[in-house]
Structure 1
Amino acid sequence: MATITKNRSKLRQFGGFTPYGNLSLLPFVVRTSAAGALIDSDSTAAIASGDKLDLGPLPEGFRLSDAIVTVTTGLTAAVTGNLGFEYEDGVDSAEVPQNASYFGAALNINTAAVLRKVTTTAPVILPKPARLILTTGGAANAKASEVHIHILGELTGPR
C-alpha cells in the first residue's frame, strides 16, 4: 500500500476570523489522469486499492463539523474511499484520536454524486496540525476522474 501526497496543498488561504463567526470551508480536489494517477502529486502510478491519498493540511484548532464530497466524474467502478485525518507528526492524540473514516467509510466515489458526512462522529477540535486522508478500496483506479471535497468547520485558533 503506497501513500501518495498531493503537491501544492498548502496554497490555500484560511480565513473566517470576523465578528460574524469563524465558519470556514477548506477545499480539496482529487483529479486523476487517464492512467488513473493522482494529478499534481508525488506519484505517477495509478491509484491502487488501499492507497492513502494525502490531500492536504487541516490546521490546529480547526473544529471538524461536516464534509461535502462532490463526485463530478467517478473513479473506476468499485472504487470506494474512507475519508478521515491523520496528524502531521504521526503521533496520535488521546484527546482526539486520528480517524481514517471520520467523515465517511466506503464512500461510493465511482459514480457521480454529492455525498455528505455520513458518520455520526461528534465535532472535534484538532489539537495539532493534521492531514486530510482519502484511503481507497475496492479496486484500482484506471481512468480520469474528478472529486471535490469541502471540509466545513470553525477555525478556533491554536489551543
Structure 2
Amino acid sequence: MQVKALNTGLCLAAFLAFTACAPKSELRPSAISSGPDEFGVVPSKPLEAPTDFTLLPAPTPKGGNLADQQPKSDAIVALGGRPNLGGGVDGGIVSYASRFGVEPAIRTDLAQDNATKLKRSGWVGLPWKKDKYERTYKRFSLDAFAEWRRLRALGVNVPSAPPRS
C-alpha cells in the first residue's frame, strides 16, 4: 500500500515539475484557436420561400439570392462604411508601391525561402514540441521595451513605455 502511495506521489511530483517548466503560452500561429466571427459581422436576414419554385433562375457562381441580394454592400454598411464609394484602387498608392518594380513571383519565392528556413532550422525535436515557428523566427522577434530604452537613450521623445510581459 505504501509503495502504491509513493508511486502516486512521485508521479504527481513529476507532473507538477514538468508543468511548472512549461513555457508561457504566447501568441503563435498554431496557438490561435478562436478568431473573428465572420458570420457575426453581417446580420443575417430571414430566409424567404418563393411563391413558385419553377420561376427561380438557375443558380450561377457569384449570383445573388432572395435573402442577400447585395451581400458586399450589406457587409460594408455593417462595418460602418459607405457602399456607394465604389471599389476602385487608388492609382497613386499602386504606383508609389511599385516604384522600384514588381516581382511577379514574390509569393512563390517567399514560400520557398520559408520552407528552406524551416527545413534548416534544426532537428526534429521533442515529439510533443511540434511547433517550429517560434524556434525558427525567434531571432527576428522584437523586444519592445529594449527598443523603447534605445530610443530614449538617443533622445527620441517616446510617450510611454510598453508593458513588460
TM range (shorter): under 0.3
TM-score by length of 2: 0.15
- When Rg is computed on C-alpha atoms for both structures, the one with the higher figure is 2
Q: Which has the higher strand share?
A: 1
Flag the structure with higher helix content: 2
